[in-house]
Structure formats: structure tokens, C-alpha cells
Structure 1
Amino acid sequence: MHVIVLGAGVVGITSAYYLARDGHQVTLVDRNPGAALEASYANGGQLSYSYVAPLADPGVWPKLVPWLLSPTSPVRFRPQLDPRQWRWCLQFLAACRGRCSAETTRHLLRLGHASRRLMHELLIREPGLDCAYAHSGKLVVYRDAAALENARRQVEFQQGLVADSDYRQEVLDSAACINREPALDGLRRKIVGGVHTPSEDSADCYRFSIGLLARMRAAAPENRCLFDTSIQGLRVRQGEIVGVETSAGLLQADAYLLASGCDSARLARPLGLALPIYPLKGYSLTAPISDPNAAPTLSVTDFQRKIVYARLDGQLRVAGIADIGGYSRAIAPQRLATLLAEARAAFPAAANYEQIEGWAGLRPATPSGRPILGHSPYRKLWLNVGHGALGFTLSLASGRALADLIGGQSPFVALDGFTLPGGPGKAGASAC
């Protein structure tokens, strides 16, 4: 079977990799000059299989006013003359309910732990995959007692959902956090505790994507990548996708997989598919580590600041922030300055902060935090979209499941809670 995969970020590439492994012919199409150059390029580097609680939860409500008013807020809303932005925000607020958040967590944990199994299998199958992988474990630190208590309840809730002998989470006090990660000593007086998850990993998403792409292309000579190729639309005839209109002309195949990140909503709209995807703009900086003893070994998340830290070989990756304000990928200097100030405060001697590489990318988010996976209402069109900040984490399970479905097999992991219900005009799996 010939499958055209639309989008060469980590989600599209993992899908293409598994399709090629299964013996399908794959054509990967992307508007960029190379692979993984948008949201996958310099993300946080964390593989958070167990820490998947969505942004949309009841704790958002008391934070709304500070988020709206503070220029250094970790989440910032910049209103646009775009009804889709306002619709997404209203749907997001509707998802900030305990029942919805718990249901989303349950589904994301299933997908996350499936990805964890696949990652470890992949590293055995592809031992030469060079992506700065580390079985680092993750420590989420909290700056106030109420947030830590909420985290404790979340840990207890998740323990009843995961049947995995390797999974455990431990709630620590401040001293125990510093004991687990001595590089956090500079924050000793500011953190009240944390949650340690030993089973989490870290890796460079860009290098991971490039490595899998090389293996996809090597699987068969007919597998190819069409870069610098803009995707203009999908051609439909009698409820079936019959081609993709691109700057290189009409492309045709036996099946089509939409994995175009934030652009997916635009491509689906003329079909009457209202995919509830809107960009959450995130930022990162990467700095060379100058003192390995002062840099974190664990993957660290500062919960209040919504900032993550990961060691990727000899570099420190610092990422975070969510700007809800349109499709521009331009780096806002003040947002990058916020990241830099937080990194200097948390790990002052860890890296050479005079030599940073700054980046901004658009995370394709649904209001609830659940991606949309599986068959569309149109024959031959499949969806692997809307992963938000968990694209790297969930990419393997999503890609494996879509390759299974396209090949007529039962998916590696159950996709209930992620599928698009009904026909054209439906809002999708984001609803709770």
C-alpha cells in the first residue's frame, strides 16, 4: 500500500517509520526544507510518559487573572481577531473541570505508557539511533504547599490507573528533592517539595526524528520525502480522499495520514471537519553545559513557572511558556529573557548562558489536551493530530497505532477517548 504522510514533524515521522517497517510505500510531504524543523526542533526534551495531567484542570481558574495581567506569566493570552481562537479558549475553559481532567489523564496515561514500551523496544531494535537518550527520571518541583498537596492527590489517582511494574511516583519534601538532584540546591529555600518519577526519559526530539527518517528512507528505495512542498488542500470525491494538492502538483496514494501539526485544522476545514486545534506557542533556549556538577542529571520541571530542564549530552535545554496568540513563530525577546532569567536563578553555574540558541515553536493543542487519532469520516483519510506539548512523548504509540489501523490491524494501543466521532462538522476527541 502507498501512504502519503502529511507533515514531517516527530508525529509524522514516527508514523512513516512504522508504516515503512510494515512494508508500505511511504511518501512524506512537508513545507519546510527538512524534517522536524517546527514544533519538534528544540522542544523540552522530556519524555513524560507518566506526568500527563493536562493544562486544562480546575486549578486554572484562580490563575486566570494573573495569567492575563502579568507580562512574565507562564501562560499568556494575546487576543486576536480570530473567532477560532475565542472558540478554542471557551472550549478550554469548559474542559477545566475535575471530571474532564481525570478522564483525559486516564487516556493519556494509557498512550504514554504504550509509548514508553515502544521507545525501549526501539532502542534495542535501532541501537545506533543517536538522540541523546537518557533514562534520566523526572522531578517536578513545587513552590507552594497547596500545589504540592494537589500533586499528592494526582499521584494517588494515577496509581490506581497504571498496571506497570516499573511505574512508581514518590512525593518528596524539599530536602529529599535536593538529595535526589543536588544541582537544585540554589532553590532550596524556594521549593516545598516535589514528585519524583524514576521511569521517565529524556532525548533530543530533532535528532530522534532525523534518525528515524533515515531508517524509513532506507527501508525501501521507493520511500521518499518531498520537502519544500506546500500542502494546499485535499481533493475529495464522493466521500473519499483522492489526492493532495501541493506546490509539486497532485499527489495520489492508497491512503493519506494527516499529521501536519497546527496546519491540520486548516487542511481539514474545507472538508467540514472542525478539528479543535490551536497553537500554544512555546519557547526554549539551549546552552552548552560549563559545569556538569552544577547541571541537573534528572529531567526537572518547575511546576509554578511551567519551565522544564533537560540535559541533552553536553547541553542544557530550558523550555516552557504557552502564548495563546496566533500563528507567528517569531521569538518574542521578553519571553526568551524570562526563560533565561529562570535558568540563571535555578542553575546559575550549570551552563554558559552567554551562548544560548533561542527557539520558538507552535504546539498543536486541543482544549482538553487529548490528541485526535484514527479514521476520519472520509475514506482513506487518517488523523494523527493535536498532541500539544506531548508530541514527542506520545509520538511512538500514536504512530504505531495509526500504522496498524492503516494496515487493517487492531491498534497496538486502544484509541478510545481519542477518535473523531461522527461525520463532517464534528468537533472531535477534545470533548469530555
Structure 2
Amino acid sequence: MHVLILGAGVTGLATARALAEEGHAVTVLDAEPRVGQGASFANGGQLSYSYVAPFAGPGVIGKVPHWMLDPDGPLRFRPQADPGQWAWLIAFLRACNPATAELTTRRLLLLSYLSRDLMRELAAREGFDFAFAPAGKLVLQPDEAAMAGARRQMELQAKWGTEQRALSREECLALEPALGHIAHRIAGGIHTVSEDAGDCRMFCEGLAASLARSNAGVTFRLGLRATQIIRAEGRVRGVMTSQGVIEADAVVLALGVGARALARPLGLDLPVYPLKGYSLTLPIQRDDAAPRISVTDSAAKLVYARIGRRLRVAGMADVVGYSTAFEEKRLTSLVRQARAAFPEATDWRELNPWAGLRPATPTGLPILGRAPGMEGLYLNLGQGSLGFTLAMGSAAVLAAEIAGRAPPIPLDGFRMGSMP
């Protein structure tokens, strides 16, 4: 079967590998001239298999007013004349309840554990460098109330196989001495030893190079934009591009936030909207002053990951439309907070700022599987800030779906139309 994958980010490339291993001829199409240029380019770098609780949690609504008024706040909203934005926000607010958050977490853990096993197998087998490291992760809590909530979440996830431990402030500092400059802001933390870190863009480039030279039957059509999904006689037949039609037996939409526009003419209203995130990539100049373990500041919603000799700082979630422009206020805020945490890790002259659009669903569950009522069209999108984490598992689900096999995990909640 010839499968056309729209999107050469980490989700699309992982899907290409999974399908090629099953003997399909695969074409990967992307408007960018290189792979990994969208949300995969400079994300947080954390492979966060155990920390997947959705942004739409039961305590979020009460925090939104404070976040909106705080110039360093992790969330910002700018109203758009876009019905999709308002529909997404309404669905997001409806998902901010304990029952939905618990169900979403349980389902995401199943997918992330599958992804973890496949990622580690790939890292051991393929041999290309993407700064992969079994770093572990420490999620910092700012006060006793937050720590109590984190312990409850830890106990909940323990029922589903997550191994974590709660640490005091002193234990956090013993585990990661580089946190000394913000010790006064730490009440405790949750440590997960089984988390990894890596460079998502390097992963995309290494995986694409491996597929291109391995005679795997994967063709890359980069710098070419899909303008229309072609349907005839009740099924999808391929896509129209600026250079003509590319025919295929099946099409996989793995375009992130770009998928909505292509799906809409087919009558599919994908519940995906961009959450704009920001990052810095800093050269580490004092090894002992930069964290060795991946760190998440839960109050600021910032993540820190060591990627080789670089420190990746990432965070924030702006619901502001589709622009990828890096705004000066957000850059200033990110630098200020990172510099307070690890002031001597670098000289702060080389920042490498980046902004990208995370393709998020209201619940946080990605959309996987066959498009409803659309023979030959498959969906693999909506992973949000967990794109790198969930890529390998999502690809395995798609490969099983296209082959007509039972999926490796239950797809309740992941199929379009079945979300809570």
C-alpha cells in the first residue's frame, strides 16, 4: 500500500518509520524544505512519560485570572475572530473537572508507556545522535498546598504503574545542587527516575536520514505544500499540491495545527488549536551550574532540560492565533526566570529564542485512527506539548489501524468523536 503522510515533524516521521517497517511504500510531504521545522524544532526536550496530566485540570480555572494579570504568567489569551478558538476554549473549560482529568491522565499514561518502550528500543538500535539521555525528572512545587496536590496526583498515578517519589526541599537540592539559587521557592518536588531527555529536531533529522538511506521505501517531498485532500467514489485518493496531484491508497494527517484547514473542506472539524510556546537554547559554560536532571518549575510552568552541552528552557501557553513571531515581552520574561534559576550556567549572550505552535486538543488527548466516515484518511495529531513524548506510541497505533490489527492500547477517547 502507498501511504502519504502529511507532516515531517516528529509525529509524521515516527509514523513513516512504523509504516515502512510493515512494508508499506511511504511518501512524506511537508511545505518546509527540511524535516522538524514546526513544533518539533526547539521544544522542551523532555520525554515526559509519567508526567502527562492534562493542562485542563480541575484547578486551572481558578488560576486563570491571576495568570492573565501576571506579566510572567504561563497563560495568555488574545481573542480572535475565529469560531474555532472559541469552540476550543469552551470545550477546554468543560474538560477542567476531576473526572475528565483523571480519565485523560490514565489514557495518556498507556500511550506514553508504549511510546517510552519504543523510543528506548529505537535509541538503542538506530545509533544516530539526538542527545538522548535517561536524565530523570524533578517537578518542583512552590508551597505546601501545591505539594499536597502533587502527592495526590502521584498516588493516583501509582495505581497505573507510575513510579515516583516525593522529596523535601533538602532532598531536591541534594538531587540537583544547581537549584540552590531558587531554594527559597521550593517546598518540595516529585522525582521520576524513568524520564528521558533529547533534542527533537536532531531526532527528526536522524530518523529522516536513516529512512532515506535504508532502502525502507520512504520518499520525501519537502518544500511542497498540500493544498487539498482529494476524495472520489467515497474514499480519499491523494492530495493536490502546487506541483500537481500525488495519489495514494491512504493519507495520514500529521500536520499539527495545519491539519484543520485541510480537513475542513471534507466536513471534518478537528478540535485542534495552537498553544504558542517559547524556548531558549543556551550554551552551558559552567557545567556544575546547569541542571543534570530535567527540571519542571510547576509554578512558572517552565521546563529545563540538558541537551548535550546546551540547556533548553521552554514553557508558556499563549492562545493567540497562528503567528509564530517571538514577542519581546515573552522573551524578557523567559530570560528573567531562567536567569534567576541558573544564573551562572551561561553568560546570557547567546539565547537562540524560538516560538512554536503546539497542536492541542481541549482535553489533551491526541486524535488517533481512522477519520470518521472518510475511507482512506487517518489522523495522528493533537499531541500538544507531548509530541516528542507520544510520537512513537502514536505511530504504532496508526500502523495497527492501517493494517486492520487490534491497536496496542485501547483507543477509547483517542478516536475523533469519542473524546469526553
- Pair in the same fold by TM > 0.5: yes
The corresponding residue for 2:411 is 415
Q: How many angstroms apart in 1 are the aligned matches of 2:134 and 2:168?
A: 23
Q: 1:404 aligns with which of 400, 405, 408?
A: 400
Matched, 1:159 2:158: yes
Contact 1:47 1:201 survives alignment (8 Å): yes
The corresponding residue for 1:229 is 224
SS at match of 1:5: strand
Q: How many angstroms apart in 2 are the aligned matches of 1:242 and 1:68?
A: 45
The corresponding residue for 1:327 is 322
The corresponding residue for 1:318 is 313
Structure 1 residue 122 displacement after superposition: 1.1
2:54 alignment partner AA: P
Q: How many angstroms apart in 2 are the aligned matches of 1:410 and 1:363?
A: 29
Matched, 1:290 2:285: yes
SS at match of 1:188: helix
The corresponding residue for 2:129 is 130
Cα deviation, 1:13-60, whole Å, max 9, x if unaligned, reads 000011112221110000111101010000000000000000001111
Q: How many angstroms apart in 2 are the aligned matches of 1:243 and 1:3?
A: 9
Q: How many angstroms apart in 2 are the aligned matches of 1:351 and 1:150?
A: 34
Contact 1:279 1:324 survives alignment (8 Å): yes
1:230 alignment partner AA: R
Q: How many angstroms apart in 2 are the aligned matches of 1:417 and 1:222?
A: 32
The corresponding residue for 2:118 is 118
Structure 1 residue 221 displacement after superposition: 7.0
Contact 2:25 2:218 survives alignment (8 Å): yes
Q: How many angstroms apart in 1 are the aligned matches of 2:64 and 2:410?
A: 35
1:188 alignment partner AA: A
Cα deviation, 1:263-321, whole Å, max 9, x if unaligned, reads 11111111111110000000000010010111100000000100000000000000000
Cα deviation, 1:342-366, whole Å, max 9, x if unaligned, reads 1100011112311110000000000
Matched, 1:356 2:351: yes
Identity, % of aligned positions: 50
The corresponding residue for 2:177 is 182
Cα deviation, 1:324-348, whole Å, max 9, x if unaligned, reads 0100011111101111111100011
The corresponding residue for 1:345 is 340
Which residues in structure 2 correspond to 1:234-245 (within 5 Å)? 234-245=229-240
2:14 alignment partner AA: T
The corresponding residue for 1:375 is 370
Structure 1 stretches of 4+ moved >3 Å: none
Cα deviation, 1:174-229, whole Å, max 9, x if unaligned, reads 11110111110111111100000000000000001111111222232752111111
2:176 alignment partner AA: E
Number of residues of Structure 1 aligned to a counterpart in Structure 2: 419
Contact 1:309 1:316 survives alignment (8 Å): yes
The corresponding residue for 2:7 is 7
How does the TM-score come out when normalised to structure 1?
0.95
Contact 2:71 2:333 survives alignment (8 Å): no
Contact 1:299 1:311 survives alignment (8 Å): yes
Contact 1:31 1:227 survives alignment (8 Å): yes
1:388 alignment partner AA: G
2:265 alignment partner AA: P
Q: How many angstroms apart in 1 are the aligned matches of 2:233 and 2:159?
A: 46
SS at match of 2:185: coil
List alignment gaps of at least 5 residues for structure 2.
Answer: none
Cα deviation, 1:51-104, whole Å, max 9, x if unaligned, reads 000000111121121122233211111111111111111110000000000000
Matched, 1:386 2:365: no
Q: How many angstroms apart in 1 are the aligned matches of 2:201 and 2:91?
A: 31
Q: How many angstroms apart in 2 are the aligned matches of 1:351 and 1:161?
A: 39
Q: Pairwise CA RMSD of aligned residues?
A: 1.1
1:186 alignment partner AA: H
2:83 alignment partner AA: P
How does the TM-score come out when normalised to structure 2?
0.98
Contact 2:276 2:358 survives alignment (8 Å): yes
Contact 1:25 1:220 survives alignment (8 Å): no
The corresponding residue for 2:141 is 142
Contact 1:261 1:363 survives alignment (8 Å): yes
Q: How many angstroms apart in 1 are the aligned matches of 2:25 and 2:233?
A: 25
Q: How many angstroms apart in 1 are the aligned matches of 2:82 and 2:353?
A: 28
Q: How many angstroms apart in 2 are the aligned matches of 1:288 and 1:57?
A: 35
The corresponding residue for 1:424 is none
Matched, 1:248 2:247: no
Farther off after superposition, 219-228 or 46-55? 219-228
The corresponding residue for 1:366 is 361
The corresponding residue for 2:300 is 305
Q: How many angstroms apart in 1 are the aligned matches of 2:83 and 2:314?
A: 29
Q: How many angstroms apart in 2 are the aligned matches of 1:80 and 1:276?
A: 16
The corresponding residue for 2:165 is 170
Which residues in structure 2 correspond to 1:64-79 (within 5 Å)? 64-79=64-79
Q: How many angstroms apart in 2 are the aligned matches of 1:35 and 1:413?
A: 28
Cα deviation, 1:347-389, whole Å, max 9, x if unaligned, reads 1111231111000000000000000001112111111010000
SS at match of 2:135: coil
SS at match of 2:281: strand
Contact 1:280 1:362 survives alignment (8 Å): yes
The corresponding residue for 1:258 is 253
SS at match of 2:350: coil
Q: How many angstroms apart in 1 are the aligned matches of 2:305 and 2:46?
A: 7
Contact 1:21 1:219 survives alignment (8 Å): no
Matched, 1:275 2:274: no
Identify if the C-alpha distance between structure 1 residues 288 and 383 changes in structure 2 by more than 3 Å, giving closer, same or farther: same
The corresponding residue for 2:85 is 85
2:133 alignment partner AA: A
SS at match of 1:189: helix
List alignment gaps of at least 5 residues for structure 1.
Answer: 421-427
